[in-house]
Amino acid sequence: MIYRHGQEAPILLRFLGRILPISLILTFFSCNLDIERSEIPLINLIKNSIPISTVTVSSPLTYTSSEFTFTIHVPISEVTPSYQGTIIDCSVSPTLPTGLSFNTGNCSITGTPTVLSEKTIYTVKASISDSSVSTTLTITVNDSAPTSLAYSGTPFTFTKGVTITSVSPTVTGTPIGYSITPELPSGLSMDTGTGVISGTPSLVSPSANYTVTATNSGGSSLFNINITVIDTPPSGLSYTGSPFVFTQSSSIPNLTPSVTGSVVSYSVSPALPSGLLLNTGTGIISGSPSALSVSASYTITATNSGGSTNTSLNIAVVSSLSECTGYSTILGDDRHTGLTGGSLCDSTLSGLWRRFTGTYVTMPTSVVNPSMCNTDATGYMTFPHPSSPGSSFSGKVCFNWSGNICAWSVTISVSNCNGFYVYMLPSTPTCSLRYCTQ
């Protein structure tokens, strides 16, 4: 077939142009169509015979990643695309975060972001050679992660029921929130915006570690604090009735303490007389003393996590002699052997068991000069005191007067009550006679 310039293209050519690629048509007609090349180039023949549309080619324009995360005020490494051909111009939409620049000549991104920016999709379009291409990037600008979080003063010890002084953190950077784990002791709370810990602890809490986290879009910083909540120290411990005199082998009434505040445990020092027990949970003293014990002081201590308080008790264990508990007291300090003058008399005593009180509490066992002891005729024992607890002696008391060391006499009894003595004192024969003390 011969086709000359100016002729209409063959129907076959026009038909094939609608269903086959140009490259295949060219190959076919180069071999089968007799075209006078000097009159018309084959490509012009095909172009003029086939309707051809302009096509946008999806040419490769790629970046090293499709997502970028930058940090505010930190220069970024240049983001440069790879592509084929020659870039004529570039554009990006929407506008990049403040501080970042877009090069319209090579589609690269540079700069230092100066504002925070949430995750945003940007479309980059480029004209490369005679093609239009596009791609998308996701860019986020985060804050600088907080660092060096700290709470000065840890470990902290707070007291139940006492409002604490607010505890504030120090941190480098700008956190947007704080959290703590595990939960703070009851009554304490953390401001999640400032990290300040405040409140009034309502329950005792053992020592425990708590992790505080300060966070922003760039990351987080952690710090461990230690908190203990102790109880309010007890106070005002006392036992009504001290000093106590108990009888050997006889059960004592329970001694129950009075105290302000809660108590975790009680202790005593030195150990109580044999047979007596201190309940370390309640502070009650009970039991049956099994051995004699001289009058002694015992310190009871009540303790909780906040501190302690104590009190002293005086306890004596005497023999089962009835007089060691069933006696009357009589002051001994106004009848001791160092007092001169006076003409007092014991003629009104009625033969009861007596215990002298004060500083001078025993009778002398040797002659006392007359006109001492606040009287005229001075009374003294002519026999020793019984040395064994629970034992009793009877003997004579003489009254010294006018050169006669035993001008008058009476018989008395003395019992050793393990730490003190009691005396069965009859009334004196006349006045002014008196029993002396030393």
Tell me the per-residue pLDDT of 404-418, one tens digit each, with 9 for 90 and over. 999 999 999 999 988
Distant-in-sequence, close-in-space partners of 85: CB < 8 Å, separation ≥ 6: 59, 128, 129, 131
For residue 11, pLDDT over 80 is answered with no
For residue 80, pLDDT over 60 is answered with yes
Tell me the per-residue pLDDT of 136-187, one tens digit each, with 9 for 90 and over. 999 999 999 999 999 999 999 999 999 999 999 999 999 999 999 999 999 9
Quote the tokens at residue 429. 């024969």
Tell me the per-residue pLDDT of 100-112, one tens digit each, with 9 for 90 and over. 999 999 999 999 9
The CATH architecture annotation of domain 235-318 reads: Sandwich (2.60)
Sign of CA dihedral 420, 422, 427, 430: negative
Measured from the Cβ of residue 218, the count of other Cβ atoms closer than 10 Å reads 21
Residue-range domain boundaries for the chain: 2-49, 61-142, 147-230, 235-318, 324-435
Superfamily covering domain 61-142: Immunoglobulins (2.60.40.10)
Same fold, 61-142 and 235-318: yes
Which residues is 166 bridged to in the sheet? none
Looking at residues 74-80, what average pLDDT do you find? Answer: 96
CATH 2.60.40.10 fits 147-230, yes or no: yes
For residue 292, pLDDT over 70 is answered with yes
Share of the chain above pLDDT 70, in %: 87
**DSSP for 77-139, written as a single string:** PPB--EESS-EEEEEEESPPPTTEEE-TTT--EEE---S-EEEEEEEEEEEETTEEEEEEEEE
- Residue 297 pLDDT level (bands cut at 50, 70, 90): very high
Q: Which pLDDT does position 45 carry in this prediction?
A: 45
- Calculate the alpha carbon distances from 186 to 41, 180, 182, 200 in Å: 94, 14, 12, 8
Tell me the per-residue pLDDT of 384-398, one tens digit each, with 9 for 90 and over. 999 888 888 999 999
Task: Go through the chain and tell me how many residues it has.
Answer: 438
Looking at residues 234-261, what average pLDDT do you find? Answer: 92
- Calculate the alpha carbon distances from 15 to 18, 31, 43, 49 in Å: 6, 18, 16, 9
Please report, to the nearest 10 degrees, the dihedral formed by the alpha carbons of residues 17, 22, 23, 29 taken in order: 50
- Of the candidates 329, 319, 295, 438, the one whose C-alpha atom is nearest the C-alpha of residue 388 is 319
Q: Which pLDDT does position 10 carry in this prediction?
A: 52
Strand 117-128 to 147-150 pairing: unpaired
For residue 296, pLDDT over 80 is answered with yes
Tell me the per-residue pLDDT of 25-70, one tens digit each, with 9 for 90 and over. 444 444 444 434 333 444 444 445 444 444 444 458 999 999 999 9
